[in-house]
């Protein structure tokens, strides 16, 4: 024994091994929290949803065009909410996708190092402002501003100002990921194009953007997913009026009127039915599950696009 002791330089290995495995287990437990979170989300959403679908049929939930949880006869059709969500997302996308792409082009192709160092943190600030603050901006400042434009008749709550402000919020999501993938385009491609007589404009639009299209597409999808899941802006500024357009003119005027998104409906039910035990309470989770599935699918598609269509250099 004494000989072995003299060989073992690290001292008391027995206690040390126990300690090492305690820490290993503790760290593993911390890492497992994230998996438990996912399982928790899925379980918390699915259990009440199954119960809900026992009370309201699947077809009347998924295909119903009326969402009136408070007015008798109550009806829980999710389509008006999906329409409201898509309407606002489309409005936000109309602002954020082109602006974000152009911003990314400027940052990666035109801006000097110093301009980049100033612009990038300032763009990140756009994503850091609390969403309830954006909602307040949309309601109190943007709506009166847009209403003052001749020919635009806006309600106090409307989809237009909510989606505009949301668009501003998600610009940095588009620009930062797009710029990353544009910066990854090797300079040899740019130089090759210059060698063929291309202008800077040609290089930016015909070489860099096509070469980084997978990253741009991934950023677009991610931004859409963020817009779909955004809650406070629409709750504060877009109102609580679930509507499903019956005709094409109705669709066009939808932007100027109050609209309810899925997230806003969740909040509305959350503020009234939190005590539990009601169909409205369970509808909350059913809508939440729909939202979760939509955003999860978009995130997975975004990942897939970014990896599958990535150009290798």
Segment 235 to 254, residues that bind other proteins, using CB under 8 A: 235-236
CB of 66 to other proteins, least distance (A): 23
Cα→Cα distances 306→63, 64, 94, 244, Å: 33, 35, 22, 34
Structure tokens at 216: 């741009």
Rounded to whole angstroms, how far apart are CA atoms 259 and 85?
Answer: 9
Residue 277 gets the label, from left (phi > 0), alpha (psi -120 to 50) or beta, of: left
Does position 16 bind other proteins by CB under 8 A?
A: yes
Of 11-19, 58-66, 68-76, 242-250, the segment contacting other proteins by CB under 8 A is 11-19
Does position 280 bind other proteins by CB under 8 A?
A: no
Structure tokens at 67: 């969402």
Does position 309 bind other proteins by CB under 8 A?
A: no
CB of 250 to other proteins, least distance (A): 27
Task: Report the residue from 136, 155, 184, 256 that binds other proteins according to the rule CB under 8 A.
Answer: 136
Hey, which bits of the chain come out as E strands? 67-68, 75-76
- Binders of other proteins among residues 165 to 204 (CB under 8 A) are 168, 171-172, 175, 194, 197-201, 204
Does position 267 bind other proteins by CB under 8 A?
A: yes
The bridge status of strand 75-76 relative to strand 67-68 is antiparallel
Other CB atoms within 10 Å distance of the CB of residue 247? 7
Rounded to whole angstroms, how far apart are CA atoms 15 and 282?
Answer: 52
Does position 23 bind other proteins by CB under 8 A?
A: yes
Asked if omega into 92 is within 30° of 0 (cis), the reply is no
Structure tokens at 212: 């980084």
Does position 37 bind other proteins by CB under 8 A?
A: yes
**In terms of CB distance, is 194 or 256 closer to other proteins?**
194
- Binders of other proteins among residues 213 to 232 (CB under 8 A) are 222, 225-226, 228-232
Size of the site for other proteins (CB under 8 A): 98
């Amino acid at each position: 024994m004494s000989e072995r002791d003299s060989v073992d330089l690290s001292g008391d290995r027995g206690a040390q091994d126990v300690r090492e495995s305690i820490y290993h287990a503790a760290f593993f437990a911390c890492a497992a929290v994230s998996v438990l979170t996912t399982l928790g989300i899925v379980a918390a959403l699915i259990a009440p949803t199954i119960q809900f679908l026992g009370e309201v049929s699947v077809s009347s939930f998924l295909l119903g065009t009326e969402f009136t949880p408070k007015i008798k006869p109550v009806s829980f059709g999710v389509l008006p909410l999906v329409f409201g969500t898509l309407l606002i997302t489309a409005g936000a996308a109309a602002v954020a996708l082109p602006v974000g792409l152009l911003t990314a082009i400027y940052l990666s192709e035109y801006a000097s190092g110093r301009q980049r160092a100033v612009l990038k943190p300032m763009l990140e600030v756009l994503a850091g402002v609390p969403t309830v603050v954006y909602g307040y901006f949309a309601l109190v400042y943007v709506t009166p501003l847009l209403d003052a434009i001749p020919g635009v008749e806006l309600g106090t709550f409307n989809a237009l100002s909510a989606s505009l402000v949301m668009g501003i919020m998600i610009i940095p999501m588009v620009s930062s990921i797009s710029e990353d993938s544009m910066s990854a385009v090797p300079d040899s491609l740019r130089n090759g194009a210059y060698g063929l007589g291309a202008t800077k404009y040609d290089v930016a639009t015909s070489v860099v953007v096509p070469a980084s299209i997978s990253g741009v597409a991934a950023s677009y999808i991610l931004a859409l997913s963020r817009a779909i899941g955004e809650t406070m802006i629409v709750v504060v500024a877009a109102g609580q009026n679930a509507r499903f357009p019956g005709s094409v003119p109705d669709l066009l005027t939808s932007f100027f009127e109050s609209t309810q998104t899925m997230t806003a409906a969740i909040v509305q039910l959350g503020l009234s039915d939190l005590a539990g035990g009601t169909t409205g309470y369970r509808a909350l989770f059913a809508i939440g599950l729909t939202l979760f599935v939509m955003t999860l699918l978009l995130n997975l598609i975004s990942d897939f696009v970014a990896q599958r269509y990535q150009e290798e250099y």
